[in-house]
Amino acid sequence: MLKIVGPLGSRAEDRLRASLWDCVRQFLIALSVALLVLLAVVRGGAQDTEGIAGFVAARVPEERQLEAKLKKIPDPAHAESNLRRLTSEPHMAGTDASRRVAEWLRDQYRSFGFEADIVSYSAWMPQPREVKLELTKPETKTLASPERPVEGDKDTYDKRAVTAFNSYSPSAEVTAPVVYVNYGMRSDYDELTQLGVSVEGRIVIVRYGRGYRGIKVKLAEEHRAAAVILYSDPQDDGAVAGPTYPNGPWRPVSGIQRGSIMYTEIYPGDPLTPGVAATVPATRLLAADATNIPHIPAMPINAQDAAVILASLSGEQAPAGWQGGLPFSYHVGPGDSELHMKLVMDYRERSLYDVVARLRGSEDGEWVILGNHHDAWVYGAADPGSGTASLLEAARALGALAKSGWKPRRTLVICQWDGEEEGLLGSTEWVEANRAELQQKAVAYINTDVGVDGPNFEASAVPSLKDLVRDVARDVEDPKTGRSVEQAWIESVAREKKNPSGTGRQAPPPDPSGKVPLGALGSGSDFSAFLDHAGIPSVDLGFTGPYGVYHSIYDDFDWMKRFGDPTFTYHVALAQVLGMLALRLDEADILPFDYPAYALEIEHAATDAFTKTTNQDDQDALEATLDAAAHLSASAHRASQALRAISDVPLDPQKGSEINHALAAVEQALLAPNGLTGRPWFKHTIFAPGSYDGYAATPIPGENDALLANDSAMLHREAEALSQALLRASVELDEIARMAHEARRPQASAGH
């Protein structure tokens, strides 16, 4: 034990001991990173020439041939035809048009050879009846102007497009002065406080970006604002970023971002049935008791209307960094400006239509699941139609392989979700309905959402599956460069780091292994219920680029054909990536989970949390999680070594199945049975959306939420829950090591 000798007091001695211990720990982590990188280089060289992670050497040629056949099947003309059909009419969730899309998708999957059906739920959802906004002081002007149609793009003239609104806003009528709050995030309210400006009883106007819109409304509600106006500033996704539609990919001044403001960081899905499926007979909460719904009204407007409001504000000049792209000096307000808002929302139970398709494998007790949502705010060419069109091509390719004689090893399940835009409704209800079976059978969940809006590959995943994504990206050709998707990905990450594009997307932090980084999974798409609630290892991916028409009427087929992917070759590349991920997970002898990498990321996150407090009692609690993380790392390396020892040993099918079930179940060991403090629906102790981020992942969220709240009692509870989860995962990994040693024994005996 380290002993400090000298005139230091006990508190100073404790702080110094903690600091030195952290230095030692950081050195050990750095050393483990170096060893992992060396191991990755050695193993990566072998894989590049012949191996595939998870496959015995004798089966690699067969898998390579299968993948080569799959990659030849997706076709740009098919993908384009898919997208044209998907964008043929507006199809918001809860409408007959959404049902028609679901029925068409079901029939497509059946034509590919899948068993396919529609699974319906009944969720509490709003649609707008009246949306009204007017400036009443210092002059009178009618606002809430609609998006202007574009000559040559017939879809922008369609009267069936829903009026721009924020789903899950309450009905209300408010007249009040206006205050500008920049992006409406926590730091912005701190600056307002320093300026002596209160938003209580006032309407706040905030710009989109830097965080989920629901968090902006939540913060406004916490600061006692009367209502919220959300707008898209030209600096963020409009003319300052580049040419606007129809001359470029960015948002025109009349473009409006629709979107849900459900507090999905508390729980997603049907607001009235948290934790249980929203079937017709389900017991439902009263609407007043739903904790994930705002209590103040909110509505989105376009930049041209925002200019009228912002130009009327006086008061303090906006702080540095608050100036947007409109051609005048921004002020905070309130001054003499006043707005009148009236919203009338039609809330009722409306039907959701999930499509669930299956290609049965010889081992139906193990499922590889892929998913994408089919509902859209209007046409949804990029969001989500590009993902749907690509997933259809991947399914067509897998179906063609099956028709030619291939039999999947595991069952492939492909899902098309409804109600994602409203708050991840369809996927959440399906997971809640099937949670026990999923936890028994699901190997992994692969998600795509905005599948293609440009040429730059981007992915997020649980750490154990990041190398799998990299490996597949290495084996798919990038259409633009002719090199691999992985190489183009590395180059795009380097370019983005050097010259940020201004798209609002945050590049993931450097990976501890030194490889091309993948992001962490928070929320904002349909992987959330799988990972955060059920503990199913998950991946989310797509190709990105300049995309300013998000959630607007302009996200249509014409935009995609002009700017997003004119040749539809990136739709093909995405279909190839999805199809190959499915094949690698479906056909693997031993599932390719990398738990040493997972343990390393957990150690980094735990160390980061430890350094955020100087309270000795709190540090003792956090040190227990550091010890549990070190225990997990040791178990992960033992399991990895044991699995490598049987990588070329013919396995008894029963033993192989037992090992694979155990590998997939490690993620579930990281769930806390009672969930996170204040939001029990979220059960994952390692990843969840931040309480004040909404989409972005917060690592070890329980501890970090407690540190943010400066709540020592909560910190101790969450540290204990995390430590127990890490130790449960360690036990699972030790059992995997034991099973792997047991599987090798007959081979060793035969050698004597």
pLDDT tens readout for residues 549-600: 999 999 999 999 999 999 999 999 999 999 999 999 999 999 999 999 999 9
Report the distance separating Cα 296 and Cα 127, nearest Å: 17
Same domain, 287 and 157: yes
The more confidently predicted of residues 361 and 751 is 361
Per-residue model confidence as pLDDT tens digits over 321-333: 999 999 999 999 9
DSSP code at position 250: B
For residue 94, the enclosing domain spans 68-123+350-487+518-587
- 305: in domain: yes
Same domain, 147 and 221: yes
Mean pLDDT of 2-17: 36
Report the distance separating Cα 149 and Cα 652, nearest Å: 64
Residue 13 CB contacts under 8 Å (≥ 6 apart), including other chains: 4
Mean pLDDT of 235-248: 98
Of 530, 562, 587, the one marking the end of a domain is: 587
The tokens describing 467, both together, are 């190398």
DSSP code at position 718: H
Mean pLDDT of 362-385: 97
Same domain, 416 and 476: yes
Percent of the chain with pLDDT over 70: 91
Report the distance separating Cα 259 and Cα 215, nearest Å: 12
CATH of the domain at 342: 3.50.30.30
Q: Using an 8 Å Cβ cutoff, are 208 and 257 in contact?
A: yes
- 52: in domain: no
Q: Which helix (H) or strand (E) holds 191?
A: helix 186-195
Average pLDDT, rounded, for the chain = 92
Same domain, 256 and 175: yes
Same domain, 401 and 253: no
Q: How would residue 212 be classed by pLDDT, with cut points 50, 70 and 90?
A: very high
Looking at residue 746, its pLDDT comes to 56
Same domain, 339 and 358: no
Of 562, 587, 612, the one marking the end of a domain is: 587
Q: Is the pLDDT of residue 44 over 50?
A: no
Mean pLDDT of 66-91: 98
Per-residue model confidence as pLDDT tens digits over 495-544: 888 776 554 456 788 887 789 999 999 999 999 999 999 999 999 999 99
Of 349, 374, 396, the one marking the end of a domain is: 349
pTM: predicted TM-score of the whole model, two decimal places: 0.92
Integer angstrom CA distances of residue 312 from 121, 305, 335, 690: 46, 11, 8, 35
Same domain, 81 and 183: no
Same domain, 341 and 354: no
DSSP code at position 382: I
Looking at residue 28, its pLDDT comes to 47
CATH of the domain at 87: 3.40.630.10
- 436: in domain: yes
Per-residue model confidence as pLDDT tens digits over 296-315: 999 999 999 999 999 999 99
Report the distance separating Cα 200 and Cα 529, nearest Å: 35
Same domain, 267 and 365: no
Looking at residue 392, its pLDDT comes to 98
420 is catalytic: yes
Q: Is the pLDDT of residue 134 over 80?
A: yes
Same domain, 286 and 365: no
- 63: in domain: no
Same domain, 140 and 185: yes
Catalytic residue among 420, 429, 458, 587: 420
Count up the domains in the chain and report the number. Answer: 3
Percent of the chain with pLDDT over 90: 87
CATH of the domain at 731: 1.20.930.40
Same domain, 331 and 194: yes
